[in-house]
Structure 1
Amino acid sequence: MEIIPGIGVEQARIGEPRSDVEARIGAPVHGPGGRKAVYDTTPGLVIAYTPDDRVELVEIGYAGDGGEEVFFDGVQLTFRFLEEVVADLEAKGHEYTPSDIGYDFRAGFAVWSMGSRWALDLDPNADEDDERAVSEGVSVGPYEYFVGA
């Protein structure tokens, strides 16, 4: 799945009405009508809505184990080591700021890890003490959303 920085993904775009999203991808499997809704897509989407039911933020999780992952500008963003993702994006000129769980990119997205995967998931030669973070998800929205500007 390809992200559109600051806008979302093809299935859900910032500012779009919930009814349009659900007409396209179906009803959520968790959180129908709520502020956040989880959709059974591949990879999975979690969409945050404003009080007037418009898309505020699009989050895409990793698929892992050979499933469809998330991409931008030719870079695989999910199910890779987080530092490698950031290095590849930085080499392409994408500016970022670190956050408590990952990195916020000025283009309008964030990559992050919640620590639910470990280095052994990607590197069979890693040991159990390997602290490399695995990129588990991408959030797409305006840069200001992430940095509180």
Structure 2
Amino acid sequence: MALPPTPSDDSWVDEILDEVRGEFWCTIDVYTPGTKGKFDPLTDTRAGGTAEVVHISQRAARAQHSGRMPQETAGAYEWGTKQRYHFQIELTGEDPFITDGMLVRVTSTRRMQALTQLRFQVTKAVNSDHAPILTIQTVTEARAVADG
């Protein structure tokens, strides 16, 4: 069986990226959460908190549930809530290094609106230097969270 012809470096990435963009059905932010600071009960205020830092904003993405986590299996009478999700985004040369502990939030989606109510903790985000997309691997407690 003959191997297919090898495309040039640029055309391979462009061809794959054109196909993948059609699968991006949501937008996401990748950010480092802020801190609330210390609460003062006398003044009913907080001081010393930090604002969240958004590293990637409103990026088109694909959200994909990726199954159970064997190390987090619930017992016979327990409710299992942890779920893994992968987010795939277009890889650009300007993207920052995405590290463990950053969060992903879905800001809009065509179909699964419940995703906008969850927060996803980044576990890793890696790919090759020749890839057209970046895969961000995350875990969520699969419970709705409130901002703030």
TM-score (norm 1): 0.25
- Structure with the greater alpha carbon radius of gyration: 2
Query: Which one has a larger percent strand, Structure 1 or Structure 2?
Result: 2
